[in-house]
Amino acid sequence: MALPRRAQMTLGAIGMTLLFGILGLAWWWWRHRPGRQPATRYRRVRAALVVAGLVFLAVGSAGRLVTVFQPTPACSPPGGAQAARSGSFGMSLLAEEATTWPETGIGLLYSRARHAHVCLSRSAYYYVAVHADNIAGTKAMTVGDIVLTPGFNISRERLRSLIGHEARHRAQWAVGTLIGGPFAFPVAYVIDDFFFPGSRNQFERMAGLEAGGYRHVGTGPVLGPAQLATLGVLAAITLVALLRARHRRATARFNIRAKSPGAGTDRNTSRGSPPDE
């Protein structure tokens, strides 16, 4: 049984917002604005991708929900645990945790699958997963509201700085999710790190280089063979896409003129007909 069109539009808008944030909602509204014909190309492929994305979010949300009912021990790094954050949860912290809820769940599920030690940092209110074989190597990596790290073999002062650094990454995850969905921040970070690696990365600079353990080596992009080849491929893809779009517009205009009333008469007239005597 097919859903009413209004229900389909509502569910579609909600799905695009969950997957792609404000940009997804804006794109959905633009594609379904009054007077525009609905797109039919690759409908099944697009539907399959949307379903896969929603399943991903559902799994992550379920994984995060489990921690609400299961107590998580407090982190106890060498030198003693950090002091608990003063005061209660602020609105900004609640918004960050709610926005990154599915991503945090995926991080928690991954950490438990790797048998990592998961604890709760009382000083920043985020989860920490400790595993010697860390996915990010010797560095810490934030996934939503959980930090993946190989351990706490650093000084107490260094740990305090790192806690603040990773907390700022959580805020970046939240802003990216709100604007472009749960995949926006990791995609933007990888692209940025490809052209601006290490301390040149804009997200690391905003989170604090010294606090994150980075040594300042420059600010400009790194344009090596890989970066130049990538830019060349992107330029070629853009050029081909523009030419195809131009060809489709020209074909559409030709078909409209061919189907318009009197088109055949105009052509015959333009060729000339013998005048009546």
- Cβ burial of 233 (10 Å; 0-12, 13-18, 19+) is exposed
Using the predicted structure, report yes or no on whether residue 166 has a pLDDT greater than 60.
yes
pLDDT of 218 reads 85
Full residue range of the structural domain in which residue 85 is found: 16-30+48-182
pLDDT of 154 reads 74
Residue 154 lies in a domain: yes
Using the predicted structure, report yes or no on whether residue 272 has a pLDDT greater than 60.
no
How far is it, in rounded angstroms, from Cα 155 to Cα 82? 12
Q: Give me the percent of the chain exceeding a pLDDT of 90.
A: 47
**pLDDT tens-digit readout, 115-130:** 999 998 888 888 999 8
Question: Which of 14-23, 58-67, 118-127, 199-208 has the lowest average pLDDT?
Answer: 118-127
Question: Which of 164-178, 227-241, 252-266 has the lowest average pLDDT?
Answer: 252-266
> DSSP label at 33?
-
Residue 102 lies in a domain: yes
Residue 205 lies in a domain: no
CA distances from 261 to 138, 250, 265, 267, 273 (A): 72, 19, 9, 12, 20
How far is it, in rounded angstroms, from Cα 17 to Cα 186? 17
pLDDT of 273 reads 52
**pLDDT tens-digit readout, 60-89:** 999 999 888 888 888 876 545 555 554 456
Question: Which phi and psi (to 5°) does residue 36 adopt?
Answer: -100, 135
Pair 96, 167: CB distance under 8 Å: no
Pair 47, 70: CB distance under 8 Å: no
Residue 251 lies in a domain: no
Beta strands across the sheet bearing 126-130: 117-121, 126-130, 146-149, 141-143
pLDDT of 63 reads 92
Provide the domain count of the chain: 1
Q: Return the residue matching tokens 């189907």.
A: 259
Question: Which of 50-54, 126-130, 207-211, 260-264 has the lowest average pLDDT?
Answer: 260-264
Q: What is the average pLDDT score of the chain?
A: 85
How far is it, in rounded angstroms, from Cα 53 to Cα 19? 7
